[in-house]
Amino acid sequence: MSISKQTQQAVNRFTQSLFRDKQKTGKAVFVSGFFRVLHPGHVRLLRFAKELGDVLVVGVYRCDGDEGQIQDDVRLKLVEALEWVDHAFLLEKSALQDVLTEIQPNFVVKGKEHELKDNREQKVVDSYGGKIIFSSGETSVSSYELEQESLKYRTQITKPMDFLQRHHFQIADLKSTLDSFASLKVCVIGDTIVDEYIQCEPLGMSQEDPTLVVRPIESERFIGGAAIVAAHMKSLGAGQVSLYSVLGGDEPADFVREICAKTGVTPEFIVDESRPTTLKQRYRSRNKTLLRVNQLRQHKISQQLQNSLYRELVKVLESSDLLVFSDFSYGVLPQRLVRKITDFCKKRDIMMVADSQCSSQTGDITRFTDTKFISPTEHEARVSLKNNDDGLVVLAEKLRQKAQAEHTIITLAEEGLLIQASEPGSDSCKTDRLPAFNPCAKDNAGAGDCLLAVASMAMAKGASIWQSAYLGSIAAACQVSRIGNTPLSIANIYSELNT
């Protein structure tokens, strides 16, 4: 296919304005793609590409006529709005080689996942002495401030309404889903945590050594882990919520039982004298965390305790609509126990979802198989796959396939989330993203718990993955607007839906 007239005109304008004096413009870099959903992975790639040279050119592939796709001119404008992009134009994918022959960029940048594939640009690039670079950009830490500045098309919105239009649902559908929560019967199993926030007054610097000196003023405790997921679900209207976990024989365990009684969660706790109830202390001053101290043990619970936990769980599980794994890799959910529970749920067609958190290089979300969806952070996804190279979409799909999950939601903190969804009756998947609904978070702790709780309840009542992720994002936005992980009420979400 030859270059269309519109593309040729765009290329001509570009070559005349930027390549008239090659010595003045320096090195040129070219990137091409559909950019159907402009997500942080694209931003990282384009930022990396611009760092290779002086001029970044982007070809946005046309996809006119593809049902459900964002229009060509809209995708082009989103790419053009990025501060690293010097020039962008619409391009027929089949005309890529002709365009490269005419532009002759010094570097062509492609995602790392393309490195071992047949790249049809290679012959053209070799012919004029260029080079193809494979990278997915920086994956360890993204500069949120830089990316926020570059995404100039994004405004500080509460709810992105274009997402509803793209996936064919309305706010009324979300309200109807919330109304149906009252009939749900849910089981939550996993690690229970007590979070303690110790507010401090800064006194200055120690004269003996360069250490910050503070004075504790007050402290407040909250439940976390599987316990807060269960409390969210009950507070959001679920008819019955049963919590299965392991506690120590200590005072923090008494606090957990007290909160469960207040929230209406039915607790089924096994006491393990060999471990304390996990207590995470945050020392804070002026809305900043100065130090975290975690009091915990991470060894696996004994086979006897595993058997006890399983016996108690199956008494209620058979009549439940949903099982939630809330794992922190602290030993409450050994693989043998997870496998037994998963087999039980599969035989009885009980929906499962899973979140497996890790704060270092341990943890594996893919050990929770055959779930409706899994919801790791990007870090947790990369740790699970031992993959620091692939872009977000490729990462999400590899994770989904390895875990044999129907859908994957990768949470990206201030960057929102990425959804990789299987298409009913098809081997293909669809990708979309949601920005963070609340860009001015006071405390990010518990955002993932809210997302997990609300999204899984919505799916259990028949909502699509798109509707469920949207409701979960609203819940997360409500959660991060306050300090501490407290149960979210259904009134909070209704209030957001009505504005």
CATH number, position 178: 3.40.1190.20
Two structure tokens written together for 122? 């290679």
Q: Is the dihedral of CA 153, 159, 162, 167 positive or negative?
A: positive
Q: Residues 438, 424: contact at Cβ < 8 Å? A: no
Do 96 and 167 belong together in one domain?
A: no
Number of domains in the chain: 2
Residue 436: is its pLDDT beyond 60?
yes
* Closest of 382, 360, 357 to residue 368, by C-alpha: 357
156 located within any domain = no
pLDDT bucket at 277, cuts 50 / 70 / 90: very high
Residue 369: is its pLDDT beyond 50?
yes
* Closest of 355, 373, 357 to residue 468, by C-alpha: 373
Residue 38: is its pLDDT beyond 50?
yes
Note the pLDDT of residue 68: 56
Note the pLDDT of residue 292: 92
Q: Is the dihedral of CA 388, 390, 392, 393 positive or negative?
A: negative
| Average pLDDT of the segment spanning 125-149 | 68
pLDDT bucket at 160, cuts 50 / 70 / 90: confident
- The rounded distance, in Å, linking the Cα atoms of 96 and 85 is 18
- The rounded distance, in Å, linking the Cα atoms of 438 and 449 is 16
Do 221 and 264 belong together in one domain?
A: yes
pTM of the shown model: 0.78
Q: What percent of the chain has pLDDT over 90?
A: 58
Q: Amino acid identity, residue 347?
A: K
pLDDT bucket at 140, cuts 50 / 70 / 90: very low
Note the pLDDT of residue 83: 80
478 located within any domain = yes
Note the pLDDT of residue 173: 96
Two structure tokens written together for 377? 């952070």
Do 141 and 165 belong together in one domain?
A: no
Note the pLDDT of residue 9: 65
Residue 242: is its pLDDT beyond 70?
yes
Per-residue model confidence as pLDDT tens digits over 79-101: 988 888 989 999 888 889 888 98
Among 123, 150, 177, identify where a domain stops: 150
Domain that holds residue 16: 5-150
Do 337 and 366 belong together in one domain?
A: yes
| Average pLDDT of the segment spanning 38-42 | 83
Note the pLDDT of residue 20: 47
Do 141 and 191 belong together in one domain?
A: no
- The rounded distance, in Å, linking the Cα atoms of 301 and 337 is 10
232/498: higher pLDDT: 232
69 located within any domain = yes
Two structure tokens written together for 143? 């500069």
Note the pLDDT of residue 368: 97
Per-residue model confidence as pLDDT tens digits over 199-237: 998 888 888 888 889 889 888 999 999 999 999 999 999
When the pLDDT of each residue in the chain is averaged and rounded to a whole number, the result is 87
Do 133 and 275 belong together in one domain?
A: no
Do 258 and 228 belong together in one domain?
A: yes
417/358: higher pLDDT: 417
Do 348 and 488 belong together in one domain?
A: yes
Phi, psi of 365 (to 5 degrees): -65, -25
* Closest of 361, 317, 357 to residue 333, by C-alpha: 357
Residue 178: is its pLDDT beyond 60?
yes
Note the pLDDT of residue 440: 74
11 located within any domain = yes
pLDDT bucket at 102, cuts 50 / 70 / 90: confident
Do 138 and 210 belong together in one domain?
A: no
Do 246 and 290 belong together in one domain?
A: yes
3-state secondary structure of 164: helix
Q: Residues 238, 456: contact at Cβ < 8 Å? A: no
155 located within any domain = no
Tell me, what CATH number does 55's domain have?
3.40.50.620
Do 138 and 169 belong together in one domain?
A: no
Residue 193: is its pLDDT beyond 80?
yes
205 located within any domain = yes
DSSP state of 319: T
Among 98, 120, 150, identify where a domain stops: 150
Do 39 and 92 belong together in one domain?
A: yes
Note the pLDDT of residue 359: 61
pLDDT bucket at 144, cuts 50 / 70 / 90: very low
Among 128, 150, 172, identify where a domain stops: 150
| Average pLDDT of the segment spanning 64-71 | 66
347 located within any domain = yes
225 located within any domain = yes
Helices assigned H by DSSP within 19-109: 22-25, 40-52, 72-80, 96-103
pLDDT bucket at 421, cuts 50 / 70 / 90: very high
